[in-house]
Amino acid sequence: MAQLIGIGVGPGDPDLLTVKAVKAIQDADVIMCPASAEDRPSIALSVISSLIDKSKNQEIVKLIFPMTKDKDVLEAHWKTNAKIMAEKVLSGKNVVYLTVGDPYLYSTWIYMHRDISANYPDIKISVIPGIVSMFTFASKVGISIAEGAEKVAIIPSCYDLNSVKEIAKHSEVLVFLKDGRYFDKVIELLKESGFPGNSIFAIGQDLGTDHEIIRKMTLGEVNDGTLTTKYFSILVVKRV
């Protein structure tokens, strides 16, 4: 029976795919992947491009998830994409859906899975986890995301940042994702929150690619603003 598999392809380095992900991708009839617009590349697809064996004639389908906060627009795209995915599986094809990092952290897969399990209950769905960007980053800069009794907050930077100062008071480690274009504001708020100046401050951009950037200093040393302007950026601050 055909099935749908959501696959985390890790942070960008093809060597950080799991063996299980590689096998599922190679066995798939159809490879689906997200892109923000028709003329934009799919980052998730680019990670696995070396695995595609042209002689197998696997169908590649790019699904459009626009970068918008408009709930109606988003929900319309989730519905359309879930339908495309479900119909392909119901036609007897084994479909994999690729997502950057892990499928259950800020991923389009979450909405696909929710819609398909609710509206197409006969479809068998499974998920293969992927290496999460923040852990890739931790291993590259050599900082622990949590140890002992430490509390960690994961914060998406592109939404309301009003709670950052309060969260900063109650956490030892703050991880900011989504997206680097908001990090100047985040840094300003962290400094205003009284987060200690000697805290470890690390920022990473385009991890796992050949244009990766990583910087590590203390929060007090950050004074030049605009350390990254890219969506694919991560910022970690940690009390020492």
Work out how close the CB of 166 gets to ligand SAM at its nearest, in angstroms, rounded to a whole number: 21
Q: Is 12 in the site for ligand SAM (CB under 6 A)?
A: yes
Considering only 100, 155, 186, 237, the residue that binds ligand SAM (CB under 6 A) is: 100
**In the window 120-179, what residues touch ligand SAM (CB under 6 A)?**
132-133, 177-179
The encoded tokens of residue 211 equal: 């244009």
Tell me which of 234, 236, 237, 238 binds ligand SAM, using CB under 6 A: 234
Minimum CB distance to ligand SAM smaller for 120 or for 135: 135
State both tokens at 240.
């020492």
Residue 206 as a binder of ligand SAM (CB under 6 A): the answer is yes
Residue nearer to ligand SAM on the CB measure, 59 or 75 = 75
Q: How many residues sit close enough to ligand SAM to count as binding (CB under 6 A)?
A: 23
Q: Could you list the residues that contact ligand SAM (CB under 6 A)?
A: 11-12, 99-102, 105-107, 132-133, 177-179, 204-208, 231-234
